[in-house]
Amino acid sequence: MLRRAVNVCTGALPLLASGYACIAWSQPEGSEDAVLRIDLATALQLADERNLDVAIYLERIAEASAEVAQARALAVPTLRVGGNYTRHTGNLQETSGQVLDVDRVSQFTGLEVGVAVDVADAVFAPLVAKQNRAAITAASTANRHQVLVDVTTTYLRLLQTRAEARIVDRALERAVDLATLTANYAEAGEGLLADAETAAVEPLLWEQRRSISAERIETAVTALVELLHLDPGVRLEPLETTLPALEIFSGEEDIDELISRALSDRPETEQYDALVAAAEDGLTAQRYGLFMPSISLNYSSGEFGGAPGSSIANTGDRDDLTLLLYWQFDNFGLGHRARTNQKRAQLSRVGLERDKLHDRIVAEVREDLARLRSLKQQLELTVPTAARAEQAYLLHRERIYDQLGLPLEALQAMQTLAAAELTHLEVLVAYTLAQIRLHTALGNPVDSQFP
């Protein structure tokens, strides 16, 4: 588990670092930039609240919900309120064919209620819209899972870079100590000047490495600020000082069981199931829509009047009802056939994309499990490696102070110790991330309750 320092707690979350999500603001004297001290739990909470990719998908869900409402309203009548004024002067042909010189006026004021709907659209459009909304909702869940993984990865990389900086600082102290001892030996005539110059190079190299570490810390902070959509002037500092070593999976799990769980629980599977269902509904609408009529119904009621000349007269109530029922064969049915073939091809394409997704999920689970097993073995080796490298360095230092060896003899031991510590740190972070990625590959978000 992650160790945390609690300053101001914003609430309990069942996150990777179980406990309270804590956040602390401070303003260093003489600095205009605010320092935001957060833990991983808070970073994940902020990702849910502020990440732009999460917000964009929420708006896509809102759009899809509006489209469902529009589809459901296809058979709802439209109300029109207003008036109609007609003024005609000049020739007008009667039904008998006779042309008359007419001067007349008419006016209608009232309301009209009308509905014009394709029955196939009214039946199937809401079904398609609901499946599309379900697909977008599942895609939003998958996007959120990935965002949480990205935030966790970036946060752990930030902890890693800060831990690297501490390792580099310790290596620099050892290098300075070694260079000083070697120079003293050379001045006393007990060592070579060439050895002193060689030892003097080592602190310079670690100074360069310290500059690189500072750059990597700033890069990680910048990436995390971007993911959390924070003010560019905010400087992030993690509350944790130690890195986690999660044990969600032992590496001995049955691969077939993990694959079955992933195929069942991944939101991407739900997304493509909904897309296939939407494509099936679209194809059904095209197949049977040809046999479903279109309906146009209009009813108007109001006051109508008219007379020869330009003055309105003879006003009174008027009601009209018009019903139209028809079947439409676009391009003598050729257009309908083309649209049916298009929907059939769309259904086949989405089905193939779902199969491709399943193959990708299977590959991800296999790769993640293999990587986890490999990193677990590496981690078991890096712990004693770092311990023995430290012991070797201490033994060389004892030889120096007991005047049994030269300072330069400890140079290689010092370099080996720093390399072993950095390797252990890299493997530890990679192992933790491998646990998280396999957890997510099975369809679980990072903010689930971890063992």
Q: Any idea what the CATH number is for the domain that residue 72 is in? A: 1.20.1600.10
What is the residue range of 418's domain? 9-441
Q: Is residue 219, in this structure, part of any structural domain at all?
A: yes
- 451 inside domain: no
Residue count of the chain: 451
Both tokens of 367, joined, read 């790769």
What confidence score (pLDDT) does residue 74 get? 87
**Token duo for residue 4:** 């945390």
Bridge pairing between strands 235-238 and 99-118? unpaired
* CA 423 from centre of chain: 31
pLDDT at 153: 96
- 282: tokens are 């679209």
The pLDDT assigned to 11 comes to 33
Using 50 as the pLDDT threshold, list the residues of the chain that sit under it: 1-21, 23, 25-32, 448-451
As given in the structure block, the two tokens for residue 342 are 């298009």
| pLDDT number for residue 181 | 85
Q: 43: Cβ–Cβ under 8 A, 6 or more apart, which residues? A: 151, 152, 155, 224, 228
- What does residue 200 show for φ and ψ, rounded to 5 degrees? -70, -20
Would 393 be classed as within a structural domain? yes
Give the angle 372-434-255 at the CA atoms, nearest 5°: 50
The pLDDT assigned to 403 comes to 65
Predicted pLDDT at 201: 93
Letter for the amino acid at 79? Answer: L
Asked if residue 248 belongs to a domain, the reply is yes
In a domain, 259, yes or no: yes
Distance, CA of 71 to CA of 68 (rounded, Å): 5
CA distance linking residue 416 with residue 409, whole number of Å: 12
Give how many domains the chain has, as a whole number: 1
User: Is residue 3 in a domain?
Assistant: no
197 is written with which tokens? 């110059």
- The dihedral built from the CA positions of residue 226, 231, 232 and 233, taken in this order, carries a sign that is negative
How many angstroms separate the CA atoms of 387 and 399, rounded?
19
Whether 2 maps to a domain, the answer reads: no
**Whole-number Å distance between alpha carbons of 47 and 327:** 53
> Is 1 a member of any domain?
no
